[in-house]
Chains A and B, each alone.
Chain A
């Protein structure tokens, strides 16, 4: 069947692998524990199994073969033949990564074949270490033998396992209306899973009531039957004990006919017929999938169109204004229509935006995998914690963030965390710790990477900065500015800095990557205790609200998310300290920036500023001196392209809708440039 287009294959394979990665990350929490969650283990197995089947159908034999080996390994694991330990876990992770590699190769060229022998031999070696299964006969259960016939191999194993453990085994009988059985059954299963393990769900017919489905659920309970029966949600169901403990005798019980239970919340029959019939018809069996995978490029097109529509709306609004001023009677209706359009456009924009959002979890999972692999390679012990994985941000940012994050994490592992021996001699816990945190703050997401390693000594940085001629030996350089040195391209060279401070590998590249996303990077560190790196990123890049201002007779857009306030500039407000212009703002000193300090306009055309736009983030603020404020507008930022990427202080260009294009200021960059001036730095 390899004639089929491979696009669908790739999308589903990727989805399966992504879920495998996420589930494996979850599984990592139960390494060396007594038992992993059987549902999770089975779901991992099923995904490997699906990938195998799918790949075989599309003729991708190498992927099919490797996923077959993975499946077999997982099968041994889920059937209890191999214990979950770090070695098995690493092998699982790396195989899934290898599969990811293979799938990506196929995306580029479906004909490529890759050598998978190293993966396969590793798995084979693991399989040889399997332990023997100790069996207690399932026949000793007072279980309908017909029921045993329906259990898959895995379900049989789970039954066995629970039997060996002496769990209370029950058959739960339930009767549900055909129209609502899936939600009812899910609710019951959920309830049961809190008290034990659902081994199998067997649907059957009800002899008395043809509009109902009878279910028998094979359930291993961790709590006594009385406790189950006391639970309100479980009260309507009948429990039948099947484990040998209670019955003792070996005679199998006669098949139990499903009891004629009244379904819960059963409304009168005539109402059912009326109320549910149309709904049932709407529930077309053909629309099954709840989600659609969309190419991010298509979403970008959609986003751009929404942006352009916003511009068109702005234009119409202007025309409406003109008509109102001209006293044309229909102008008011037009104005109303424009407002409706505006509201709907806002909703549309938000809806498109929502589609692009992905949870940070995806990024964290990737990092978790990298940390596990690197820690293994370096022979370091590390404990990894993540917080706020459900925080959402733009898919594009998530993609672009993977590399910088990896860089930071690699540094933390490689240079930050000490070896176990060193840690113990310092009185620290043997296992190092890396934390990834995500929090949403307004329109920004803050990602923090925190380690408890050796940290960075600002004094070492200062000495190094002076030696490199990057800071003036006499200047009072703030702690923040010293850490900012790490991002200076001329500052760090791999070997030297790792010796001194333990860090500095390509951090200038990281900073540039983050800045390209309109993000900001901050470092804070305490020698001996560890380092925290915080990345502040906009939730989305696509459409932004911008303040349009006039500076030196040209218009610029400033992303509204970085505007804190605007002030009218009055004579005497500006002071000069050490040759730099500042002003007082509610008791604190605000550094000021004339754009011509950065862009070096022709001085003769210089005009006086009228307003100060306070921009920045939290405690890193500056005042931008502008001539006029032109109000706010939605803009779509477009990149200036590769060839102009060296221009500092400009984030891109935006179309204002009246055939005017303006430059969008890169506030993060301007703030850094202004604040770090006194250290003699121009980062």
Chain B
């Protein structure tokens, strides 16, 4: 079973993403509530896809993207960043750092599922 790491500091938002992914019934979902937890999870779980929110305390999504892209272990792992309307600047940066795709909140469950489908197969 392929593993997806979901990094999002809002528990409700994370719950929504996780349940959307679980509905696809073919992934194991690893949850992280902040950048620290993601950094901890990455070496332990061999993740096949990373989904991260940008706006998080301490270590933000961009820093996480940079970390993955500068580390040979995660350089090739597909990465989706989640931003909101109005944060175009940060979204551009995320893509420039090597994120593969982005989603803008609010998004439809199908959008997320489709994106995951494309990136993971």
Please report the C-alpha to C-alpha distance between residue A419 and residue B64 in the assembled complex, in whole angstroms. Answer: 55
Chain A residues with CB below 8 A from B64, complex form:
203
Q: CB distance A49 to B37 under 8 Å?
A: no
Please report the C-alpha to C-alpha distance between residue A286 and residue B33 in the assembled complex, in whole angstroms. Answer: 9
Please report the C-alpha to C-alpha distance between residue A189 and residue B59 in the assembled complex, in whole angstroms. Answer: 12
Q: CB distance B62 to A152 under 8 Å?
A: yes
Chain A contact residues, majority secondary structure? helix
Q: Which chain B residues in 45-99 approach chain A with CB under 8 Å?
A: 45, 54-60, 62-67, 70-73, 84-87, 89-90, 93, 96-97
Assuming A75-B86, A150-B62, A204-B70, is B35 touching A53 (CB within 8 A)? no
Chain B residues with CB below 8 A from A204, complex form:
66-67, 70-71
Q: CB distance A12 to B31 under 8 Å?
A: no
Asked whether any CB of chain A lies closer than 8 Å to the CB of B4, the reply is no
Q: CB distance A285 to B9 under 8 Å?
A: no
Q: CB distance A201 to B59 under 8 Å?
A: yes
Q: CB distance A285 to B37 under 8 Å?
A: yes
| Closest residue of B by beta carbon distance from A291 | B11
Chain A residues with CB below 8 A from B107, complex form:
57
Chain A residues with CB below 8 A from B36, complex form:
181-182, 185
Chain A residues with CB below 8 A from B26, complex form:
none
Chain B residues with CB below 8 A from A280, complex form:
44
Number of A-B contacts (CB under 8 A): 125
Chain A residues with CB below 8 A from B10, complex form:
12, 50, 53-54
Q: CB distance A285 to B59 under 8 Å?
A: no
Number of interface residues of B (CB under 8 A): 53
Distance in angstroms from B116 CB to nearest chain A CB is 15
| Closest residue of A by beta carbon distance from B14 | A288
Q: CB distance B32 to A288 under 8 Å?
A: yes
Distance in angstroms from B25 CB to nearest chain A CB is 18
Asked whether any CB of chain B lies closer than 8 Å to the CB of A52, the reply is yes
Contact segment of A1-9, A302-310, A369-377: A1-9
Contact segment of A64-72, A546-554, A655-663: A64-72
| Closest residue of B by beta carbon distance from A200 | B63
Number of interface residues of A (CB under 8 A): 45
Q: CB distance B55 to A57 under 8 Å?
A: no
Chain B residues with CB below 8 A from A289, complex form:
11, 33
Chain B residues with CB below 8 A from A189, complex form:
58
Scoring A53, A54, A72, A285 by chain B CB atoms within 10 A of each residue's CB, the highest score goes to A53
Assuming A8-B12, A285-B37, A289-B33, is B105 touching A152 (CB within 8 A)? no
Assuming A1-B106, A178-B43, A205-B71, is B12 touching A285 (CB within 8 A)? no
Q: B63 contacts which of A43, A52, A201 (Cβ < 8 Å)?
A: A201
Chain A residues with CB below 8 A from B55, complex form:
46, 49-50, 152
| Closest residue of A by beta carbon distance from B5 | A285
Chain B residues with CB below 8 A from A4, complex form:
16, 19
Q: CB distance A53 to B105 under 8 Å?
A: yes
4 smallest CB-CB distances across A and B, nearest first, come from A56-B106, A288-B33, A53-B105, A12-B12
A-B contact pairs, 29 of them (CB 8 A): A1-B108, A1-B109, A4-B16, A12-B11, A49-B55, A49-B84, A54-B10, A54-B13, A56-B106, A57-B13, A68-B86, A72-B86, A146-B66, A149-B66, A150-B97, A153-B87, A153-B89, A153-B90, A178-B40, A181-B39, A201-B58, A201-B63, A202-B66, A203-B59, A283-B40, A285-B31, A285-B32, A285-B40, A288-B11
Binding site for B on A (CB under 8 A): 1, 4, 8-9, 11-12, 43, 46, 49-50, 52-54, 56-57, 59, 64, 68, 71-72, 75, 146, 149-153, 178, 181-182, 185, 189, 200-205, 213, 280, 283, 285-286, 288-289
